A and B are shown apart, each in its own frame.
Chain A
């Protein structure tokens, strides 16, 4: 079974530029999450999707971050314009359909460096 796929693995941009990250969850997983992991910290939730609907985006900085999951499968996270403090690893995770437990399956992450 293929795992959670993310791309690109690494991205370096200047501040005020834009960037997009892509995630394809494990086949059949209805719930998809984007987490931000700043160096030395634990992952922090940005947004949770259930199929193509947003469940929780309360911690997403909506003035610069956006995310979509139009067909309920893969998802894109965009940052525009980027700030220095957005330098982090962006982790995508998915969880199976059915009774929720909070157990997540993670991709390898997309490391963003903002100069």
Chain B
């Protein structure tokens, strides 16, 4: 069955530390891949997206993600986390063809310690 998995419900890091949030998907062909961020009481904001080409994708707010076909993964990274990065992060996949409807993972809550 097609699915998107974010294995970590919560991640806690210290301010200034590096961050990696995991996302794995199970689809027949490589889908389009997205990361969104949701701050408390807000809607989702796009951080970055992957359609094809270079497997390392740069996004807003200093985030990047790497697509690894062999591992069916699209992990989000940031070299140095700021307190304002505390939020919920969602990975989303869009199967090619059809209606291009995104399916979201359950999210990872990022907690940043000062």
Residues on A close to B: CB < 8 A? 4, 33, 35, 40-45, 48, 55-56, 91, 93, 100-109
B101 and A45 within 8 A (CB): yes
Of the candidates A45, A48, A104, the one whose C-beta lies within 8 Å of that of B44 is: A104
How many chain B residues touch A (CB < 8 A): the figure is 24
Within 8 A of A (CB), among B32-87: 32, 34, 36, 41-46, 49, 51
Give chain A's interface secondary structure class.
loop
Residues on B close to A: CB < 8 A? 6, 32, 34, 36, 41-46, 49, 51, 90, 92, 94, 99-107
B32 and A106 within 8 A (CB): no
28 A–B pairs (Cβ distance < 8 Å), ordered by A: A35-B104, A40-B107, A41-B106, A41-B107, A42-B6, A42-B104, A43-B44, A43-B90, A43-B104, A48-B99, A55-B99, A56-B99, A56-B101, A91-B43, A93-B44, A101-B94, A101-B100, A102-B101, A102-B102, A103-B34, A103-B49, A106-B36, A106-B44, A106-B45, A107-B43, A108-B43, A109-B42, A109-B43
User: Which 10 pairs between the two chains have the least Cβ-Cβ distance?
Assistant: A102-B94, A42-B104, A106-B43, A100-B100, A102-B100, A106-B44, A108-B43, A42-B106, A102-B102, A43-B104
The complex places the Cα of A93 from the Cα of B106 at a distance, in Å, of 18
- B44 CB to nearest chain A CB (Å): 4
- A102 CB to nearest chain B CB (Å): 3
**Beyond known contacts A56-B101, A106-B36, A106-B43: 10 more, CB 8 A cutoff:** A42-B90, A42-B105, A42-B106, A45-B103, A101-B100, A102-B32, A102-B102, A106-B44, A106-B45, A108-B42
The chain A residue sitting closest to B43, CB to CB, is A106
